[in-house]
Structure 1
């Protein structure tokens, strides 16, 4: 395991200490859990977005989408 130093606001440090006491674990374990949860959530969201892109790629079948978009926007100016 790699050690690192981080700077926290006093209120965040107090909160971490309280969470550690509630869970009966060291404060560093609470930080590890938080980093793992954030990483997992970000990876899941990224995977979901990639799946969305893959599932919708090529569904526009009506010519150049940019031309269509510009024509619709031109209607707004009228």
Structure 2
């Protein structure tokens, strides 16, 4: 595990200390739990790489990507 130093407002530190005591855990364990929960929430918001691949599979079946690319580039000149 990697150690990290963070700066907290005194009120936040006191609140975290109370929460850690209430849940009979350490401050570090409480913060690790919070980070894991936040990470799960954030990752749930955006699709995974595998989901994106499934969604876009066969996107160019109806046409040639190279021809499309060349037509877009022709617009620039």
Q: TM-score normalised by the shorter chain: which range applies?
A: 0.5 to 0.7
- Structure 2, unpaired ranges of 5+: 60-77
Q: Secondary structure at the match of 1:47?
A: coil
Runs (4+) of structure 1 exceeding 3 A deviation are none
C-alpha distance in 2, partners of 1:13/1:20?
Answer: 10
C-alpha distance in 2, partners of 1:19/1:47?
Answer: 33
What is the RMSD of the two structures over their aligned residues, measured on CA atoms?
Answer: 2.0
TM-score by length of 1: 0.60
Aligned to 2:39: 39
- Structure 1, unpaired ranges of 5+: 59-78
Total equivalences in the alignment: 53
Higher helix share: 1
TM-score by length of 2: 0.61
Shift of 1:47: 2.1
